[in-house]
């Protein structure tokens, strides 16, 4: 059984560079995309969560504060060799604890069509119609605390 450690990391730290590389491999490369310098610079106001097994990064996500007591969960990525092992679920639970601890009352996200079922199981509800973002169908979802 793996021993998973969840850690909040700083923007532009060495761990952040590893998290960006994981997000690039899982979320961007399959779409023929990469991050711009401006996109990465804009993440300085986000909270960055990582999941580790010893010194190996297995997952990451970002929380970006929004107006009106909401926070957006973004860029959820788990190493594809470890998907389906509960890492994403544990990261989302930790993100919810962090968000409520910081005074946020609602989590929003844009789920790729392949991830909608995952978020439904975690209590997120669809909002509005599906839309296309980065060339992929998405569904806005939210959960109120």
Give residue 117's domain range.
Answer: 4-144
Residue 139: which pLDDT band, with cuts at 50, 70 and 90?
A: very high
Beta strand segments in the chain, E:
4-9, 47-53, 56-65, 70-78, 106-112, 125-133, 136-144
Residue 36: which pLDDT band, with cuts at 50, 70 and 90?
A: very high
* Torsion from C-alpha of 24, 28, 30, 33, nearest 10 degrees: -120
- pLDDT at residue 140, rounded to an integer: 97
Q: Domain total for the chain?
A: 1
Q: Is the pLDDT of residue 1 over 90?
A: no
In whole numbers, what is the pLDDT of the chain averaged over residues? 95
Q: Name residues whose C-beta falls within 8 Å of residue 18's C-beta, 6 or more positions apart in sequence.
A: 50, 57
Mean pLDDT in residue range 34-52? 96
Judge contact between 72 and 107, C-beta under 8 A: yes
Write the pLDDT tens digit of every residue in 66-109. 988 899 999 999 999 999 999 999 999 999 999 999 999 999 99
CATH code, domain with 86: 3.40.630.30
Which stretch of 62-66, 108-112, 123-127, 133-137 has the lowest confidence by average pLDDT? Answer: 133-137
Return d(Cα 126, Cα 141) in angstroms, integer.
4
- pLDDT at residue 2, rounded to an integer: 63
- pLDDT at residue 12, rounded to an integer: 94
């Amino acid at each position: 059984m793996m021993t998973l450690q969840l850690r909040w990391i700083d923007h532009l730290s060495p761990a952040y560079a590893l998290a960006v590389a994981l997000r690039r491999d899982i979320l961007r490369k399959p779409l023929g995309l990469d991050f711009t310098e401006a996109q990465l610079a804009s993440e300085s106001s986000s909270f960055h969560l990582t999941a580790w097994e010893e010194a190996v990064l297995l997952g990451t996500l970002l929380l970006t504060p929004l107006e009106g007591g909401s926070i957006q969960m973004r860029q959820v990525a788990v190493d594809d060799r470890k998907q389906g092992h509960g890492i994403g679920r544990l990261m989302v639970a930790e993100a919810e604890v962090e968000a409520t601890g910081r005074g946020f009352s609602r989590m929003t996200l844009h789920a790729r069509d392949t991830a909608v079922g995952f978020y439904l199981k975690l209590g997120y509800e669809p909002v509005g119609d599906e839309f296309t973002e980065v060339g992929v169908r998405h569904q806005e979802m939210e959960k109120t605390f």
